[in-house]
Amino acid sequence: MGNLSIEDICRLAPVVPVLVIEDPDTAVPLAEALVAGGLRALEITLRTPAALGAIKAISNAVPDAVVGVGTLRSAGDVDDAVKAGARFAVSPGLSHAILNAAQAAALPMLPGVATPSEAMAAAERGFDLLKFFPAEANGGVSVLKAWASPLSGLEFCPTGGVTAENAIDYLSLPNVICVGGSWVAPHSAIQGRDWDRITELSREAWGLAGPRVAKAG
C-alpha cells in the first residue's frame, strides 16, 4: 500500500485504536490481534519509552497495519516517528510547530482541537480533518452537532471518552469520519496477553461500520 492521506487512513475502519505500549514484546501480537479483527490504522502513543520501538516493530512485522504516532507533543518527535515507520500522526492539541514539521515530512496529520477557534486555525493551515479531543469532556455529540453547520466542510475523529457503547452515536454524525479510543485494547488484556479478547473487541468495533454505512446511505 502506497502513501495514504489522513482521510484514507481514517476511512480504513470506524475506530482508530489508541495504544499505550509498555512492554515491547507485546507490540507485534497486539497489532496482529487488532488487524485480525479488522482495525488497521493503529495509533501508538508516545507515552512510554517503548513507543518508537513498537512503531518500528509493527511496521516491519505487520504489513496490514497502518501505524501512526500519537500524543505528539513536540516538533522534534516528528522525524523520530517517521524514521521508525509512522505513516500518520495524531496530536492532542493544535501546535503550529508540529504542523510545520509534519508538513515538511509529508506526514499525514490529525491535529487535536477542542474549540471552533482551533478548528478554524487548523483549517487555515489546510487541515480539514481534525481530532476532537477530549470528546466526551468537551460536550461530545451535542458539540459536534452544533459545529456541523457553522464549521461545514470540517470532519472530525472524536477521541477521549469514546466507548463501545457511545461510539455509534458519534459515528452516526455526518461530520464524524471515525472515532479514536483505547477501549479496544484494554490495559488488562495487553498485560494478560489476551489477544483473542482484543481481536473480539476489534471485530465488534469494526462492526460499527455497518450501522454507519446504513445510516449514511
Write down the catalytic residue from 43, 56, 136, 155.
43
Among the listed residues 7, 22, 124, 131, the single catalytic one is 131
CB of 210 to ligand 3PG, least distance (A): 21
Nearer to ligand 3PG, 31 or 46 (CB): 46
Instruction: Give the C-alpha separation, 86 to 105, whole Å.
Output: 11
Please name the helix (run of DSSP H) or strand (run of DSSP E) that holds residue 15, with its range, or none.
strand 15-19
Residue with nearest beta carbon to ligand 3PG: 182
Report the residue number, 108 or 158, with the smaller CB distance to ligand 3PG. Answer: 158
d(CA 87, CA 69): 8
Least distance from ligand 3PG to the Cβ atom of residue 178, Å: 13
Residue 118 Cβ, how far from ligand 3PG at the closest point, in Å?
16
Its sign, for the CA torsion 49, 198, 159, 4, is positive
Q: How far is the CB of 182 from ligand 3PG (least distance, A)?
A: 3
**Is 131 tagged catalytic?**
yes
How far apart are alpha carbons 158 and 190 in whole angstroms? 23
Positions that interact with ligand 3PG (CB under 6 A): 18, 133-134, 159-162, 180-183
Could you list the active site residues?
A: 43, 131
